[in-house]
Structure 1
Amino acid sequence: MSVTSAEDAVSVERVSKTYGGEQPVVALADVDARFLRGTATAVMGPSGSGKSTLLHCAAGLDRPTSGRVRIGDTELSSMSEKQLTKLRRSRVGFVFQAFNLVGALTVEQNILLPSRLSGRRPDGAWLGEVIERVGLGNRLRHRPAELSGGQQQRVAIARALVTRPEVIFCDEPTGALDTQTAAEVLALLRSVVDEAGQTVIMVTHDPVAASYADRVMVLADGRIVQDMPQPGAERIAEQLALLGRRQPAASRQPAVSRQPVASREG
């Protein structure tokens, strides 16, 4: 069982998530995990292993079927949708593979969007530091269509940073990028941890991307099967290859009796 402490940016305790009706699918099965402040964690695993579901539950984007999720000392299970939306806008940042920028807005307007939605005036000095950090000072009046993929992802990272979130959740942030641009984006995320003391939780399938993290957590069949301090890209690849050769686990079966929720793919 996980024990929440002041060092935890995010903690999940016995979290399960079940999708479906007559034939439910268990995406997560009694997962315990702690994500410490000022660290980067890579979450990996085969397709359907539950890694994105874990990210969404931990970020308050999806509610677990059972168990507890905390961001800092705030438990999410008792919060209304309105309260969760407010929390996500003020305390959490998101970076996704698809960038999710608003095409009609300029770079600067996209970066400031979370502040505008939350009704908070941005800190001018911090905004300037964020823009300098992502290296887009000369692109502020451009629109997303005028930028490269790497530049668009930098805008997304700046948007995630501008509210000074406690934790930044990334779902395959380099999946749509070429190797060199991906390395630049990963170095930027690493600097967010090392220089700003932020917490990054990143779902990725790429061992090289995972090598930028302090810790690698591997899921299979909705459970954590490996939790390693940074093992290096080669060992990560070896562990994933071994996992891919395993016989399908029967660990889902006991959890099928849990109360099913509305159908959704895990």
Structure 2
Amino acid sequence: MEDAVRMETVSKVYGRGRGAVAALREVTTAIPRGRFTAVMGPSGSGKSTFLHCAAGLDTPTAGTVRLGDTELSAMNETKLTELRRRRVGFVFQAFNLVPSLTVEQNITLPLRLSRTRVDKAWLAEVVARVGLADRTGHRPAQLSGGQQQRVAIARALVTRPDVVFGDEPTGALDTMTARDVLTLLRETVDGMDQTVVMVTHDPVAASYADTVLFLADGQIVDWLDAPSSDAVAARMTRLGAWK
């Protein structure tokens, strides 16, 4: 299976000397294309750093990161910004919508920033898939939290990215709304052949993924395929996440 992301002996150290903190320690992994991968671990395990390095938001101290066939470590910040706009989608815990823009304008913002023509047919399909066809003229303040996160997911999908990265995308949502958003992410993988990588602390959220990677002390220490929430919770307990 083709890799969407490949990390080879990636380390990330913040600070210098005695104050240096190793957030990632020689991480090597491959994330397959067209699959849903969740990343879990105790607080301070390196989850967010893993996502930031994989997505080109942060540069590793050592090692290489590839998005498809493109090596990110050789790119300057301008090139990385261009790559992220064209080939990477992001969904964060905070919806990060522009209050003055309509739903449609928020969704198409990455295209406008990269001066890319809006494909109206693709936009309509994305809007329909996230269930917002009757909300395109609304402003974010007129939407529920779940609807705002759906706008963020549509914005992530509209560029047809190689990978959608989610950093606790359901963290600000109630249980029922979170389930709807996770179902939507699952459907983008199954119905649109999208690749999704999601950092989460929630075993139920992780159970929507095809594979869960477990991090501890900046290293991948285990993985679980076809995860159930109970199996994920049990493994997290052994990692010391809930002591």
User: Is this a same-fold pair by TM over 0.5?
Assistant: yes
Deviation of the 1:231 alpha carbon:
2.5
Deviation of the 1:230 alpha carbon:
2.0
Is the counterpart of residue 178 in structure 1 residue 174 in structure 2?
Answer: yes
Distance in 2 (CA, whole Å) between partners of 1:177 and 1:231 is: 22
| Aligned counterparts, 1:128-207, within 5 A | 128-207=124-203
- Inter-CA distance 246–181: structure 2 relative to 1 (3 Å threshold): closer
Distance in 1 (CA, whole Å) between partners of 2:12 and 2:232 is: 26
**Partner amino acid for 2:165?**
F
What TM-score do the two structures reach when normalised by structure 1? Answer: 0.89
What SS does the corresponding residue of 1:14 show, helix, strand or coil? strand
- Inter-CA distance 246–133: structure 2 relative to 1 (3 Å threshold): closer
Indicate if the aligned counterparts of 2:209 and 2:227 stay in contact, CA closer than 8 A. no
Distance in 2 (CA, whole Å) between partners of 1:195 and 1:117 is: 27
Deviation of the 1:243 alpha carbon:
1.0
Q: Provide the residue aligned with 1:42 in structure 2.
A: 38
Indicate if the aligned counterparts of 2:236 and 2:242 stay in contact, CA closer than 8 A. no
Distance in 2 (CA, whole Å) between partners of 1:245 and 1:193 is: 28
Deviation of the 1:211 alpha carbon:
0.3
Q: Provide the residue aligned with 2:56 in structure 1.
A: 60
What TM-score do the two structures reach when normalised by structure 2? Answer: 0.97
Q: Provide the residue aligned with 2:238 in structure 1.
A: 242
What SS does the corresponding residue of 1:137 show, helix, strand or coil? coil
What SS does the corresponding residue of 1:138 show, helix, strand or coil? coil
For residues 78-117 of structure 1, give each alpha carbon's deviation from its aligned partner in whole angstroms, at most 9, with x where no partner exists: 1111110110000000000001111111111000000000
Is the counterpart of residue 17 in structure 1 residue 12 in structure 2?
Answer: yes
Q: Provide the residue aligned with 2:229 in structure 1.
A: 233
What SS does the corresponding residue of 2:134 show, helix, strand or coil? helix
**Partner amino acid for 1:106?**
T
Distance in 2 (CA, whole Å) between partners of 1:145 and 1:30 is: 43
Indicate if the aligned counterparts of 1:9 and 1:199 stay in contact, CA closer than 8 A. yes
Deviation of the 1:245 alpha carbon:
7.1
What SS does the corresponding residue of 2:28 show, helix, strand or coil? strand
Deviation of the 1:204 alpha carbon:
0.2
For residues 176-233 of structure 1, give each alpha carbon's deviation from its aligned partner in whole angstroms, at most 9, with x where no partner exists: 0001100000000001000110100000000000000000000000000111212311
Identical counterparts, % of pairs: 67
Give runs of ≥4 in structure 1 deviating > 4 Å: none
**Partner amino acid for 2:198?**
M
Indicate if the aligned counterparts of 2:102 and 2:140 stay in contact, CA closer than 8 A. yes
**Partner amino acid for 1:234?**
D
Count of matched residue pairs: 242
